[in-house]
Amino acid sequence: MPTAMEIYKLLPKTNCGECKFPTCLAFAMQLANQKVSLEACPSVSDEAKAQLEESGAPPIRSVTIGSGELAVKMGDETQLFRHDKTFYNPTVLGLIADDSAGLEAMRTRVDDAHSAAFERVGQILRVDSVALRHSSGSEEDYLEAVKAAAGKELPIVLMCEDAALAAKAADACADKKPLLYRATGANFDAMAELAKGRSLPLVVGGVAGLDELVELSERAKKAGLSDVLLEPPIDSSGKMLENMTVIRRAAIKSKFRPLGFPTIAVLGSSTADKMNASLGVMKYASAIMMEEMPRDFVYPLLALRQNIYTDPQVPIQVKPGLYPVGEPTESSPVMFTTNFSLTYFTVRADIEKSKVPAWLLVVDTEGQSVMTAFAAGKMTPESVAKAVDDFKVKEKSNRNEIIIPGMVSRMSGKLNELTDLKVTVGPRESSGLPKMMKSLA
Pairing of strands 179-183, 156-159: parallel
Q: Which amino acid is at 397?
A: S
Among residues 278, 372, 416, 424, which is the contact residue for another protein, using CB under 8 A?
Answer: 278
CB of residue 20 vs another protein: minimum separation in angstroms?
Answer: 38
| Span from 41-49, 98-106, 298-306, 376-384 in contact with another protein (CB under 8 A) | 298-306
Q: Confirm or reject binding of residue 327 to another protein (CB under 8 A).
A: no
Rounded distance, CA 203 to CA 58, Å? 19
Q: Confirm or reject binding of residue 246 to another protein (CB under 8 A).
A: yes
Between 88 and 118, name the residue whose CB sits nearer to another protein: 118
Q: Confirm or reject binding of residue 57 to another protein (CB under 8 A).
A: no
Q: Confirm or reject binding of residue 441 to another protein (CB under 8 A).
A: no
A 10 A CB-CB count for 319 gives 11
Among residues 122, 312, 324, 413, which is the contact residue for another protein, using CB under 8 A?
Answer: 312
Q: Is 98 left (phi over 0), alpha (psi -120 to 50) or beta?
A: beta
Among residues 254, 269, 400, 409, which is the contact residue for another protein, using CB under 8 A?
Answer: 254
| Span from 29-37, 161-169, 232-240, 381-389 in contact with another protein (CB under 8 A) | 232-240
Q: Confirm or reject binding of residue 345 to another protein (CB under 8 A).
A: yes
Q: Confirm or reject binding of residue 82 to another protein (CB under 8 A).
A: yes
Phi, psi of 49, rounded to the nearest 5 degrees: -60, -50
| Span from 51-59, 175-183, 284-292, 293-301 in contact with another protein (CB under 8 A) | 293-301
CB of residue 117 vs another protein: minimum separation in angstroms?
Answer: 10
Rounded distance, CA 57 to CA 257, Å? 10
Q: How far is CA 240 from CA 74, 210, 235, 276, 287, in A?
A: 18, 11, 7, 8, 13
Rounded distance, CA 281 to CA 296, Å? 17
Print the binding letters for residues 194-213 with another protein: x by CB under 8 A, - otherwise.
----------------xx--
Between 23 and 78, name the residue whose CB sits nearer to another protein: 78
Per DSSP, the residues of 265-328 read: EEE-SSHHHHHHHHHHHHTT-SEEEES---HHHHHHHHHHHHHHTS-TTS--BPPPEEEEESS-
- Residues 127 and 145 sit within 8 Å (Cβ to Cβ): no
CB of residue 133 vs another protein: minimum separation in angstroms?
Answer: 23
Between 197 and 300, name the residue whose CB sits nearer to another protein: 300
Among residues 13, 20, 147, 435, which is the contact residue for another protein, using CB under 8 A?
Answer: 435
Q: Confirm or reject binding of residue 5 to another protein (CB under 8 A).
A: no
Q: How far is CA 19 from CA 1, 43, 48, 59, in A?
A: 21, 10, 16, 28
H/E segment holding residue 119: strand 117-120
Q: Confirm or reject binding of residue 297 to another protein (CB under 8 A).
A: yes
Q: Confirm or reject binding of residue 272 to another protein (CB under 8 A).
A: yes
- Residues 115-154 touching another protein, rule: CB under 8 A, are 118, 120
H/E segment holding residue 436: helix 433-440
CB of residue 141 vs another protein: minimum separation in angstroms?
Answer: 29
What spatial distance separates the first Cα and last Cα of the chain, rounded to whole Å? 64
Rounded distance, CA 38 to CA 29, Å? 12
Using CB under 8 A as the criterion, which residues of the chain lie in contact with another protein when the complex forms? Answer: 81-83, 118, 120, 210-211, 214, 218, 235-238, 241-242, 245-246, 249-250, 253-254, 256, 258-259, 271-272, 274-275, 278-279, 282-283, 294-301, 303-304, 306-308, 310, 312, 341-342, 345-346, 348-349, 352, 432, 435
